[in-house]
Amino acid sequence: MTVFSGPNAQGKTNILEAMHLCCTGRSHRTSHDEEMIRWGTPASRVSVLSSQKDGTHEVSVILIKGQKKKKSVRIGAREAERIGELFGHVFGVLFSPEDLMIVKGGPSERRRFVDMQLSQLRPSYFYTLQQAARVLVQRNALLRAIAEKPSLEGTLDVWDEQLSLTGASVVRARREVIEVLSSLACEEHKSLTDGKEELRLRYNSEAAQKEDPAAFLLQRLRETRADDIRRMSTGTGVHRDDIAITINGKDARTYASQGQQRSAVLSLKLAQTSFAEMERGEAPILMLDDVMSELDPDRRRQLIERIGSMQTFVTCTDISDLAGAEKGRIYQVREGKLYI
């Protein structure tokens, strides 16, 4: 366990954000890359060196203001042509206060949680997801064009077929990972709550219940075509899926307390680490941003026991929150600098 300790607003979270950037190519806090560049400077660079079973991996992400290509990724000495090439070189799981939105937020937050897990472990899934998103954009653009020129309706057939095929690939992958994550998260949650609560995930997708998701999606796209033309947007597809999260059979978004929601998300993150280890044969790094202070003493103790075998990076304002944990190096963070 590496600890970054210090008062708020000193830069502790920036360290974890930088590490997460090298794992996924994106920030966990903003969708605008320029917001990660230090104020008043034109660019930033983050580099991570990781040792894995297959050798050493070096990844760098460079962000530049005001240029057409604002982000570039280097893997070793080579510049990556696509962002998806980043996945797998540094694998990490981050828990931050923003992750409460997995439970509290809308369906897109839960889809993103599952999609990011799959993308890191299986880069081919990331490209399928990108393709599905591009097809959706094209189909929606065509629906808007049909409003001006109805004779274009016949060209929807091609896009319907593409959307159903890519969508089916996404559905099958999500269905598999959600089933595994549900089982793993259930066990993690029982441990954190001393068996008092049962956490479950359920994939809310009509297509996921079908033996042939592609055929089902294609049929639904044809059945709802008139509605789509009227609305000028696509109402059927994997972009409408959701993942239900329940605690003791009740919807966690509606009925769980703030503490229960926090424990649920933490259980999901720990399940991610277990799933990654099953897939890769080695544990990912774990990043915990200001987690301990929000947990009661029992859940804090359970968490410390659980993460003892993983390389973990923790931020905290009070080092006493980590009492009982076997700590490695402890850094004090002040005004964006580290002190031993």
How would you class 230 by CB atoms within 10 Å of its CB: exposed for 0-12, middle for 13-18, buried for 19 or more?
A: exposed
Token look-up 């919807």 returns 251
pTM of the model: 0.90
Q: pLDDT, tens digit, for every residue of 239-271? A: 999 999 999 999 999 999 998 999 999 999 999
Cα 61 to Cα 64, 128, 318: the distances in Å are 10, 23, 31
Cα–Cα distance measured from residue 281 to residue 315, given in angstroms and rounded to the nearest whole number: 27
**Average pLDDT along the chain:** 93
Which of 15-29, 135-149, 239-253, 293-307 shows the lowest per-residue confidence on average (mean pLDDT)? Answer: 293-307
Length of the chain: 340
Closest CA to 288 of 62, 11, 16: 16
Closest CA to 96 of 305, 247, 315, 256: 315
For residues 214-218, average pLDDT? 97
Cα–Cα distance measured from residue 15 to residue 333, given in angstroms and rounded to the nearest whole number: 10
Query: Architecture of 92-283 per CATH?
Result: Up-down Bundle (1.20)
Cα–Cα distance measured from residue 26 to residue 36, given in angstroms and rounded to the nearest whole number: 10
Residue 128 neighbours by CB under 8 Å, 6+ apart = 166, 169, 170, 173
Q: The domain 1-90+318-340: what is its CATH number?
A: 3.40.50.300
Cα–Cα distance measured from residue 315 to residue 313, given in angstroms and rounded to the nearest whole number: 7
Contact (CB, 8 A) for 306 and 272: no
Check residue 127 and give its pLDDT. 94
Intra-chain end-to-end CA distance of the chain, in Å? 15
Domain assignments of the chain as residue spans, ordered by start: 1-90+318-340, 92-283
Residue 315 in this model has a pLDDT that exceeds 90: yes
Percent of the chain with pLDDT over 70: 100
**Tokens at 299, concatenated:** 């859940």
In 126-223 the beta strands, taken as DSSP E runs, fall at 199-204
Token look-up 């009227």 returns 230
Residue 70 in this model has a pLDDT that exceeds 90: no
Residue 149 in this model has a pLDDT that exceeds 90: yes
Check residue 66 and give its pLDDT. 82
In the chain the beta strands, taken as DSSP E runs, fall at 2-5, 43-52, 55-64, 71-75, 78-79, 92-95, 199-204, 242-247, 250-251, 285-289, 312-316, 330-334, 337-339
Contact (CB, 8 A) for 246 and 199: yes
Residue 133 in this model has a pLDDT that exceeds 90: yes
